Structure 1
């Protein structure tokens, strides 16, 4: 019985510690609310050790925004359709990936002033993302 109690206590403490560590910093929430005051259905998650991501709805569209732990906006990703991205991007993708089945498309605006187009495809059991500049060239990170 004691063993079961300590196992349960360990699990509860572990869960509570991980929950406390993923709390969104006030600076991040403040910066997000200033940039997207009309956002609804906001859900936060910790992207990695130094970044938080908010998934939300704005003007009826699904979006996500990433912020540094200090509250600096890094990028916003907005779901869109393949037909709505620039023709040069569509043509470049179709030429490079004939017959590929597009799973998702997003427009990414980042803090460096770039606008990128992310095209996600399914290749076998994996999902692969391709990033393009507006002129149809592959974006190099």
Structure 2
């Protein structure tokens, strides 16, 4: 009987260890980290991830939920700040109502390094991107 419990225990531990999701540690280039800390010295709750060949950091800046994307050499590519869905251009809400027949869960204003403004609306676990006037650009999986 003891062998049965011992074998069962070993199998359970082995199965559990295989089922656990392994989180990859993202190695952040020092240039990106230095640039971020220089731009946002008071940022809290930072979480870095890889975005293609770039690095995205999600963080809190004051009362704002934000994100910034940096290249490996520390060049800022874009910033994103969470906004209320009611702050989106009217064209965004019209498009969502016509094409998705639902409400916008979350919204953000994206500012590219060149000053270009885009908006993002999360709908049905998808991110919809719009230009500064609210014209639809593309849909991407969240």
Secondary structure of the residue aligned to 1:28 is helix
Residue number among 75, 79, 82 corresponding to 2:78 in the alignment:
75
Superposed, which structure 2 residues align to 1:37-76 within 5 Å? Answer: 37-48=41-52, 50-76=53-79
Q: Distance in 1 between matches of 2:77 and 2:126?
A: 22
Match of 1:102 in 2: 104
Match of 1:112 in 2: 114
Deviation at 1:78, TM superposition (A): 1.3
Q: What are the ranges of 5 or more consecutive residues in structure 2 without an aligned counterpart? A: 1-21
Secondary structure of the residue aligned to 2:37 is helix
TM-score scaled by length of structure 1: 0.71
Secondary structure of the residue aligned to 2:133 is coil
Match of 1:4 in 2: none
The alignment's C-alpha RMSD in Å is 2.2
TM-score scaled by length of structure 2: 0.71
Deviation at 1:140, TM superposition (A): 5.9
Q: 1:116 to 1:66 in 2, by over 3 A?
A: same
Match of 2:38 in 1: 34
Q: 1:101 to 1:92 in 2, by over 3 A?
A: closer
Q: Distance in 2 between matches of 1:128 and 1:62?
A: 19
Which deviations, in whole Å up to 9, do the C-alpha atoms of 1:73-122 show, x marking residues without a partner? 1111111221112234333443444x223222111111121111111111
Match of 2:130 in 1: 132
- Flag as ranges the 4+ runs of structure 1 deviating above 4 A: none
Residue number among 86, 91, 96 corresponding to 2:94 in the alignment:
91
| Aligned residues of 1:56 and 1:62 also touching (Cα < 8 A) | yes
Q: How many pairs does the alignment contain?
A: 117
Q: 1:140 to 1:100 in 2, by over 3 A?
A: closer
Q: Distance in 2 between matches of 1:38 and 1:58?
A: 7
